[in-house]
């Protein structure tokens, strides 16, 4: 059984996150990350923070390259679209929460 650093049992979600974070570190460290690594990471990006961290990693790759690959630019476009959707959802939820709070005060 795999355990956390504190000695507790580690669940599948925590293990998946650990592997994903390791792959993102590897992607950050290598000049030309493999398509396999990129493909492996992207479906596991579940939160806005995960997406933003990964997008920042790829943006640094684009900024460091004189001629960034079209594939990398396309990946970034897709990530920006996912981030936009999450940000819109968060704004909508905040507006609804504020309306509910205002309705509760009446």
> Does 6 reside within a domain?
no
- What is the number of structural domains in the chain? 1
What's the confidence (pLDDT) of residue 5?
65
| % the chain with pLDDT above 70 | 92
> Does 52 reside within a domain?
yes
In angstroms and rounded to an integer, the radius of gyration of the C-alpha atoms of the chain is: 18
Measured torsion, CA atoms of residues 88, 28, 68, 32, in degrees rounded to the nearest 10? -140
Q: Which SS3 state, helix, strand or coil, does residue 9 take?
A: strand
> Does 4 reside within a domain?
no
Residue span of the structural domain in which 51 resides: 12-105
Whether 102 has a pLDDT exceeding 90, the answer reads no
Q: What is the pTM of this model?
A: 0.77
What's the confidence (pLDDT) of residue 10?
79
């Amino acid at each position: 059984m795999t355990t956390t650093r504190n000695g507790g049992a580690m669940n599948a979600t925590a293990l998946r996150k650990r592997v994903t974070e390791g792959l993102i570190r590897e992607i950050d460290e290598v000049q030309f990350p493999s398509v396999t690594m990129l493909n492996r990471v992207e479906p596991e990006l579940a939160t806005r923070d995960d997406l933003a961290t990964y997008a920042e990693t790829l943006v640094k790759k684009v900024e460091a390259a004189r001629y960034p690959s079209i594939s990398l630019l396309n990946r970034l476009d897709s990530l920006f679209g996912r981030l936009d959707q999450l940000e819109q959802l968060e704004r909508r939820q905040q507006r609804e929460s504020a309306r509910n709070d205002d309705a509760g005060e009446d």
